[in-house]
Amino acid sequence: MVISLGVMPVLSGRAASDPKVVADLVGTVEELGCESIWVVEHVVVPDAYESVYPYHPSGKMGLAPDDHVPDPLHWLTFAAAHSRTIRLGTAMLILPEHNPVHLAKRLATVDVLSGGRLIAGVGVGWLKEEYDAVGVPFADRGRRADEYLAAMRALWTQRPASFTGSYVSFTGVHCEPRPVRPDGVPIVVGGHSRAALRRAARLGNGLFPLGISLSEWPRLVERLHRECELVGRDPAEVELTAPAPSTRSAARALADLGVTRFVMRVRLDALAAVRDDVNRYRDEVLA
């Protein structure tokens, strides 16, 4: 079983914006041979919200209003400067909350400065109150996400680039620097809905489902393959990432379904625990 291992820091308190803590964590996980490090995005965290967080029975996310949630691309630029090989992933950029032309430039810049190590994980989010705060309609977020991905691909691959859509249009423009890869920054779509599977098959390089059980994975992979076939695409071109399972049998089952990367949660400010957890996971689950 050949599985890449990524890590995702658990954001709590102020540690995520402490430069020494972040530099030490990035150096440690790279030294441990981890393939990637992933960070979340929330522009704002409301003091109170009615939106239902879909990944916990309580309907509430673990972030508290006073937990630090740095901008993921700035955080990853800092991480890139303190590393040489580890890949840098967002999980997930809330795509419709961004201007896609501006975001294409930011992603390409981080990708070039990091030597092509960026992975752009994107999703549509769930927190309506956050959309309200940034002034973006919540209801059409899926349509916006699809159009924004297509527009960014145009900026990365055309010279000059032109695009006409319902939300964004431009004609004969140049957006430099361009990402290291000819087809642009790798896009990993977050989610497991039918829309997310369709988005990954048509516009993505990977899929990172969250909040589904092991028993739901076979059906999800089957649906993804069907979406790929509808657009004439080889399903093997869509890389599968999963939250790190806790047992060797579950890891084997996911690998047999085509998953090639596990992402495990680690504490930001406990490097000894990070070392122990990563090494134990390799010995007990991935061995």
> pLDDT tens digits for 113-144?
999 999 999 999 999 999 999 999 999 999 99
Q: For 175-222, what is each residue's pLDDT tens digit?
A: 999 999 999 999 999 999 999 999 999 999 999 999 899 999 999 999
As separate numbers, helices (DSSP H) first and strands (DSSP E) second, the chain gives: 9, 11
Residue 65 above 90 pLDDT?
no
pTM, to two decimals: 0.96
The token pair that represents 49 in the structure block? 């919200």
Q: What integer best gives the mean pLDDT of the chain?
A: 97
| Identity at 4, one-letter amino acid code | S
Mean pLDDT score, 75-97: 98
**3-class DSSP assignment, residue 33:** coil
- C-alpha separations of 173 from 156, 161, 266 in Å: 11, 5, 42
Looking at residue 49, its pLDDT comes to 96
User: Which helix (H) or strand (E) element contains residue 250?
Assistant: helix 248-256
- The mean pLDDT of 163-167, rounded to a whole number, is 98
Instruction: Give me the pLDDT at residue 2, please.
Output: 85
**What is residue 184's predicted lDDT score, i.e. its pLDDT?**
98
Side-chain half-sphere of 277: how many Cα atoms within 13 Å?
A: 21
Residue 6's region, left for phi above 0, alpha for psi from -120 to 50, else beta, is beta
At residue 287, the pLDDT reads 87
Is a pLDDT exceeding 70 seen at residue 276?
Answer: yes
Q: At 269, is the pLDDT very low, low, confident or very high (cuts 50, 70, 90)?
A: confident
Per-residue model confidence (pLDDT) at position 1: 60
- Quickly tell me which residue has 């709590």 as its tokens: 12
Res. 26 pLDDT band, cuts 50 70 90: very high
Query: How many whole angstroms separate alpha carbon 157 and alpha carbon 160?
Result: 9
